[in-house]
Amino acid sequence: MAEDLNWAVGGEAGDGIDSTGKIFAQALARAGRHVFTSKDFASRIRGGYTAYKIRTAVEDVQSVVDRLDILVALTQRTIDENVDELHDGSAIIYDGERSWEADIPDGATAVDVPLKSLAEEAGGAIMRNIVALGAACEITGFDVEYLDEALEKRFGGKGSKIVQNNKAAARAGQEYVQANYDLDLGYDLEVTDEDYVLLNGNEAIGMGALAAGCRFYAGYPITPATSIMEYLTGRIEEYGGHVVQAEDELSAINMALGAARGGARSMTATSGAGVDLMTETFGLVATSETPLVITDVQRSGPSTGMPTKQEQGDLNMALYAGHGEVPRFVVAPTTITECFWKTIKAFNLAEKYNTPVFLVSDLAMSVTEQTFPPEAFDMDDVEIDRGKLVDDDGVDEWLDSQGRFRAHAVTDDGVSPRAKPGTVDGAHMSTGLEHDELGRRTEAQDERVRQVDKRNRKVETAKNTEEWEYRDFGDPDADNLVISWGSNEGALVEALEYLEDDGIDVRVISVPYIFPRPDLTEEIEAAEETIVVECNATGQFADVIEHDTLTRVKRINKYTGVRFKADELAEEITDQLSEEVPA
Amino acid sequence: MSSDVRFTDFKSDKQPTWCPGCGDFGTMNGMMKALAGTGNDPDNTFVVAGIGCSGKIGTYMHSYALHGVHGRALPVGTGVKMARPDIEVMVAGGDGDGYSIGAGHFVHAVRRNVDMSYVVMDNRIYGLTKGQASPTSRSDFETSTTPEGPQQPPVNPLALALASGATFIAQSFASDALRHQEIVEAAIEHDGFGFVNVFSPCVTFNDVDTYDYFRDTLVDLEEAGHDPNDYESAKEVILDADKEYQGVMYQDEQSVPYHEQHGVTEDMSEIPDGAPEDAMDLVREFY
Ligand SMILES: Cc1ncc(C[n+]2csc(CCOP(=O)(O)OP(=O)(O)O)c2C)c(N)n1
Ligand code: SF4
Ligand SMILES: [Mg+2]
């Protein structure tokens, strides 16, 4: 198991919890430590409780666990929310001068630090969280200079005075603990020479879009997709692009479609409720053969559900939404780096096959910040494939005997050429109506069949020529097979270590392609037991796998609104392996 | 591109299937003439068509075009224009398409003031679905689904546009070919969102808002000496429920189109073969 430290800061919404947590995460990244973060919102207790949690280790960390070592608690509520995760070696940093009498659970060490007064001495009460970070440095044996670097990044833009005050506040916290406590909880945070970047899944999607040449984004704000729009705003302009906040998702997808008809690489992103509205236009994207990337950052449904909670409940929607039969690709990145690479792949697939591509992520991945070596996003490895985009010269090949552009030409691979406006002799109409090769409406039976077959043939071509590989972890010869999609990968990979410790061999297959998807028949036949893990109640991916392989699988489903944790998954897998296979 | 573009270049070889006498023939002719008359050619023009009898123009015209989903033509046109400021964008559709299912988009397209023209072929009826009440149908207009008439006041699209901050509001009549063409040309040439509501009679399902009715009642604003740059008199004619007008009602000469306001001036269709040159800077931001 990784030598990990689990740290959290919690309080009321408005206490600056997010930025405090992020500063500490950045300090750890500067120290060459890996970081995996998660965010808690009000759950067991009503109100504005929020927490930022960090798991850190020298080795890669990819999951949260049910253990908390250091807790910065700005409210009693923070302690109550996390009481199950505290243990004998835990330390709780709190401010005894505040109006509450901290109720510290048995065994945990109370570290009472006058956060507010120390902050005031350093220049302002607003810095009390920074005092707490200084205290946390002392308890964990972490050099406060790394915190300085993070403070410079965070406050550098506000002038050197502010930076100096914050550094002083951090030192005040550190020195207070040094002077008043003689703690030996055994935490001694090792540092390395590595230097990591820290980002979340939505930032990775946004960055992937920019790398892929996306120049137009239209969206309507919705948690947890909005941060993609926020990331692109202010950055996409540097490349000549633009972000529009549309009046609704009906408009957003149609604007994105329009930009794509103009020849731009274009994207929209939303979450389930927005996908419902956008569904209206899916068929048009497909029949007009428009390259478009549609991102769904899933959250808990149905309806408004639990809007700030994790779920993977939109798989069926991504696969099937839209009336009639809508050819599409569905790609679901499994990690934050994959959010970047699969976004680029999505843009290439869209333009190579003139087809909608659904990029399906989820809330957990969108808010988790994780460290990576910058090479994980090596821009030199970015490839752009614009498919059969023709220019003035290329048009000729696709004109009919009367000089008309065959925008929906029936081809062997099913892929027709694409001419953008301004291309001489390329003028043509595309439509949601069934049409002939020229895009003109038709209801002739043979034309209809030719176009439907052609569109489906594109998907066949893609199936046969693109890579739809899965990601393979653990023992490839293990009798036990666990299959997952989307963001559960990290927790599963770490669960393997727990299982190994218990002498249980497991192979994990993590599937980033939902359609087309890898055929897992052989893998499932080779295993004695197969379990499909996903964050929904009904097992939508498990259904798909059973359908593909004609084999019953076991299921682990979580729909509490909280992502899987590594230790919890190891336990669940162990339990399931001893159960009967469902009939 | 070429100066010798003729309006027939904008005609596709599909024969319109509109009912003989349908107003949409005249409306479309005027649009094609206006496009040619303002120096556009089919390869540099993008037409977005709604769904309805009106929406069929996408098929009958020749240009880059998209015939989309009912009510969403304006967002599509907005996207095309933002990606391609160099392309002439014209959006066309019916009164149902624009003022009912697409009404939300109408308000916001007007507000955005994207530099494109929007031609609504207003027949005060749902033509394609065979004669139900539309948002511009008269309150007492009897149809299959409103046997007593809708018993609701019709939408005043011109007032809706004005209230939404329009910079160009006009109305024309399909059968007054010359004026219709002139007015659409003015909408195309306007720096911003050029909105034209066209009386385009449905001869099959609307026996009230007929050619004769409009011929008898239309007041031409130009002849009446109306000053479209004067907001107050624009408001007066737009809110005047007693008369039918044709002409440019309002034009804001200070109009700054969206792309100028927001610096969206580049052809977004051109991108490098790989990641942008300085793309590693995007990664370094996350240190
Ligand atoms: C989502 C959706 N709902 C309903 C329809 C059916 N429909 C097609 S056209 C139309 C109304 C058209 O009226 P209008 O926009 O005035 O066009 P017109 O036919 O009069 O030119 C309707 C309701 C549709 N195509 N799509
Ligand atoms: S039904 Fe009316 S609007 Fe439609 S084509 Fe016939 S006359 Fe024109
Ligand atoms: Mg109509």
In chain B, residues with a C-beta closer than 8 Å to the C-beta of A427 are 42-43, 45, 62-65
pLDDT value for B193: 98
Interface test with B, best of A261, A399, A433, A443 (most B CBs within 10 A): A261
Q: What is the mean pLDDT of residues A316-329?
A: 97
In single-letter form, the type of residue at position A244 comes to V
**What is d(CA B33, CA B6) in angstroms, rounded to the nearest whole number?**
8
**Position B266 in a domain:** yes
Average pLDDT, rounded, for chain A: 95
Give the max Cα distance, chain B: 73
DSSP state at residue A205: H
**Position B2 in a domain:** no
Q: Using CA positions, which residue lies closest to atom 2 of ligand 1?
A: B70
Q: C-alpha dihedral over A319, A320, A321, A326, to 10 degrees? A: 100
**What is d(CA A117, CA A125) in angstroms, rounded to the nearest whole number?**
7
Relative to beta strand A49-57, strand A5-12 is antiparallel
pLDDT value for B245: 98
Assign B1 a pLDDT band (cuts: 50, 70, 90): very low
pLDDT value for A315: 98
Q: What is the mean pLDDT of residues A302-328?
A: 96
Which residues, in sequence order, are CB contacts of B14 under 8 Å at separation 6+?
A440, A441, B59, B60
**What is d(CA A497, CA A478) in angstroms, rounded to the nearest whole number?**
14
b (16+ CB within 10 A) / e for A283-294 = bbbbbbbbbbbb
**What's the CATH code of the domain at B36?**
3.40.50.970
Note whether A284 contacts B68, CB cutoff 8 Å. yes
Contact present, B2 and B51 (Cβ < 8 Å): no
Q: What is the mean pLDDT of residues A203-220?
A: 98
* Nearest ligand for residue B60 CA: 2
pLDDT value for A1: 44
Coil vs helix vs strand at A227: helix
Assign A104 a pLDDT band (cuts: 50, 70, 90): confident
Neighbouring C-alpha atoms within 13 Å toward the C-beta of B45: 27
**Position B1 in a domain:** no
B107 touches A at CB < 8 Å = yes
Q: Using CA positions, which residue lies closest to atom 10 of ligand 1?
A: B52
Give A494-535 pLDDT, tens digit per residue: 999 999 999 999 999 999 999 999 999 999 999 999 999 999
Domain count, chain B: 1
B87 touches A at CB < 8 Å = yes
Closest ligand 1 atom, CA of B97? 15
Q: What is the CA(B91)–ligand 1 centre distance, in A?
A: 16
**Position B221 in a domain:** yes
Give A230-271 pLDDT, tens digit per residue: 999 999 999 999 999 999 999 999 999 999 999 999 999 999
pLDDT value for A46: 59
b (16+ CB within 10 A) / e for B46-69 = bbbbbbbbbbbbbbbbbbbbbbbb
Distance from CA of A415 to the nearest CA of B (A): 19
pLDDT value for A583: 57
A426 touches B at CB < 8 Å = yes
B8 touches A at CB < 8 Å = no
A254 touches B at CB < 8 Å = yes
CB-ligand 2 contact for B146 (6 Å cutoff): no
B272 touches A at CB < 8 Å = yes
* Token couple for A115: 């956060």
Distance from CA of A44 to the nearest CA of B (A): 33
pLDDT value for B249: 98
Q: What is the mean pLDDT of residues B99-116?
A: 98
Which residues, in sequence order, are CB contacts of B211 under 8 Å at separation 6+?
B23, B175, B201, B203
Q: What is the mean pLDDT of residues A568-573?
A: 96
Q: Which of B58, B264, B279 is facing A431, going by the closest CB pair? A: B58
**Position B269 in a domain:** yes
Q: Could you give the ipTM of this predicted complex?
A: 0.98
In chain A, residues with a C-beta closer than 8 Å to the C-beta of B279 are 210-211, 379, 382
B164 touches A at CB < 8 Å = no
Catalogue all structural domains in chain A, each as residue range(s) with its CATH number.
Answer: 5-196 (3.40.920.10), 199-371 (3.40.50.970), 389-465 (no CATH), 471-577 (3.40.50.920)
**What is d(CA A4, CA A36) in angstroms, rounded to the nearest whole number?**
11
Contact present, B183 and B208 (Cβ < 8 Å): no
**Position B153 in a domain:** yes
Q: What percent of chain B has pLDDT over 90?
A: 98
Say how many C-beta atoms besides its own lie within 10 A of residue A559's C-beta.
17
**What is d(CA B131, CA A397) in angstroms, rounded to the nearest whole number?**
45
* Token couple for A247: 């009046």
Q: Using CA positions, which residue lies closest to atom 2 of ligand 2?
A: B202
**What is d(CA A208, CA A342) in angstroms, rounded to the nearest whole number?**
8
CA neighbor of A66 nearest in space, from A42, A41, A40, A47: A40
**What is d(CA A519, CA A134) in angstroms, rounded to the nearest whole number?**
52
**Position B196 in a domain:** yes
> Is 60 exceeded by the pLDDT of residue B22?
yes
**What is d(CA A485, CA A322) in angstroms, rounded to the nearest whole number?**
22
Look up the domain containing B228 and give its range.
7-284
Element (H, E) at A318: helix A315-320
Q: What is the mean pLDDT of residues B80-100?
A: 98
b (16+ CB within 10 A) / e for A524-533 = beebebbbbb
What is each CA distance from B140 to B133, B137, B152, in whole angstroms? Answer: 10, 8, 8
> Is 60 exceeded by the pLDDT of residue A44?
no
Note whether A255 contacts B82, CB cutoff 8 Å. yes
Q: What is the CA(B123)–ligand 3 centre distance, in A?
A: 5
Assign A422 a pLDDT band (cuts: 50, 70, 90): very high
Helices (H), A31-159: 76-81, 115-122, 128-140, 144-155
Distance from CA of A217 to the nearest CA of B (A): 9
B211 touches A at CB < 8 Å = no
With a CB-CB cutoff of 8 Å, which residues 82-141 of chain A face chain B?
Answer: none
Starting from the edge strand earliest in sequence, which strands make up the sheet with B88-94, in order? A429-431, B64-67, B45-49, B88-94, B117-122, B194-199, B168-173, B245-251, B219-220
CB-ligand 1 contact for B95 (6 Å cutoff): yes
Q: What is the mean pLDDT of residues B84-112?
A: 98
* Token couple for B111: 């507000």
Distance from CA of A575 to the nearest CA of B (A): 40
CB-ligand 1 contact for B28 (6 Å cutoff): no
Q: Which of B13, B45, B271 is facing A384, going by the closest CB pair? A: B271
Coil vs helix vs strand at A322: coil
Q: Using CA positions, which residue lies closest to atom 8 of ligand 2?
A: B22
CA neighbor of A74 nearest in space, from A159, A139, A153, A132: A132
CB-ligand 1 contact for B40 (6 Å cutoff): no
B104 touches A at CB < 8 Å = yes
**What is d(CA B162, CA B111) in angstroms, rounded to the nearest whole number?**
10
Q: Which of A240, A265, A430 is facing B266, going by the closest CB pair? A: A240
Contact present, B67 and B49 (Cβ < 8 Å): yes
Contact present, A219 and A245 (Cβ < 8 Å): yes
Distance from CA of B48 to the nearest CA of A (A): 9
Distance from CA of A167 to the nearest CA of B (A): 19
Note whether B12 contacts A242, CB cutoff 8 Å. no
**Position B211 in a domain:** yes
pLDDT value for A320: 97
**What is d(CA A408, CA B276) in angstroms, rounded to the nearest whole number?**
31
Q: What is the CA(B137)–ligand 2 centre distance, in A?
A: 15
Q: C-alpha dihedral over B196, B201, B207, B209, to 10 degrees? A: 30
Starting from the edge strand earliest in sequence, which strands make up the sheet with A529-534, in order? A471-474, A506-511, A480-485, A529-534, A554-557
Say how many C-beta atoms besides its own lie within 10 A of residue A173's C-beta.
31
A235 touches B at CB < 8 Å = yes
Q: What is the CA(B209)–ligand 2 centre distance, in A?
A: 13
Q: Which of B13, B86, B105 is facing A251, going by the closest CB pair? A: B105
With a CB-CB cutoff of 8 Å, which residues 14-43 of chain B face chain A?
Answer: 14, 42-43
Residue written as token pair 């008809």: A261
Note whether B82 contacts A384, CB cutoff 8 Å. no
Say how many C-beta atoms besides its own lie within 10 A of residue B281's C-beta.
11
